[in-house]
Chain A
Amino acid sequence: MKNLLITAGIIVALCGLSYSSFYALSRDSAEVRQAVKAGDAMEWLRSEFHLTDGQYAEIQSMHDGYYVECSIHCADIMAAQEEGKSAEEVTRLEAICESAMAEHCRLVAAVMNTSNGARYLKIVMPRIADYDHHEAPSLQINR
């Protein structure tokens, strides 16, 4: 009975060791986990796509520039809604906004290396296509 328990204990320990090893090797890097924990989208971008300091600074600058353009699109959409313009007009303005955002993301992807840029577009583009301009954000964003 004692020998059986020792054997069972060693097998369970092996299972636990294997689990821990594969879990540690397969999870996100410490930088990604830290960015996720902080809810910092830009830090996540930096660590997820392995951006250099130069790439990161360039992308941040592009985001700041796009922020102005986006605010103009948003103001147009809100004005159209407040003025009670037709749904088609609001949809057209939203399409302009989405198109501008998609173009901005393509430019951001071009700053990254080829494989990371392609991965970035694969992750981001579907979210832009499905974007709801009236959706309340559910996550805290730290810029």
Chain B
Amino acid sequence: MSKNDHDKSLSTLLSDWQVSPTTETHFRHEVWNRIGQRQKESAWPGYLRSHAATAVSLAIFATILGGVTGYSQARDQAQERREAMATAYVKSIDMSAQMAQR
């Protein structure tokens, strides 16, 4: 077979070749679904779900820490004020203290 004959048969073959792709009707939908899935994973709720145990533990610890600190600080301040006012009260009913004040 000469080179010309070879080219001719290739040309015939190529001209006869037909591509008939299978149509995937949900292709576009599936692509967007996959994009959406990735976006969900990188969004905060997805992040939180993947670190739920750590986040919940830290949240509980922070709540207890804040509560205990707030409670003890308020009690300490109240006690300190009570001490000062009780002393002031005793002085207020004592004549000598009031005379010394004048």
Do the two shown chains form a genuine complex with each other? yes
Contact, CB under 8 Å: B90 / A127: yes
Inter-chain CA distance A17–B69, complex, in Å, is 12
Chain A residues with a Cβ closer than 8 Å to the other chain, count: 58
State which residues 42-97 of A face B: CB under 8 Å: 42, 44-45, 48, 63, 66-67, 70-71, 73-74, 77-78, 97
CB-nearest residue of chain B to A39 = B88
Asked if A7 contacts B81 (CB within 8 A), the reply is: no
Look across to chain A and name the residue whose beta carbon is closest to the beta carbon of B90: A127
Within 8 A of A (CB), among B20-64: 42-44, 47-48, 51, 55, 58-59, 62-64
Size class of the contact patch on chain B: 35 or more
Whether the Cβ atoms of A70 and B94 lie closer than 8 Å is: yes
Report which residue of B43, B70, B71, B78 has the largest number of chain A beta carbons within 10 angstroms of its beta carbon. B70
| CB closest residue in chain B, given A4 | B47
Residues of A within 8 A of B81 (CB): 28, 32-33, 36
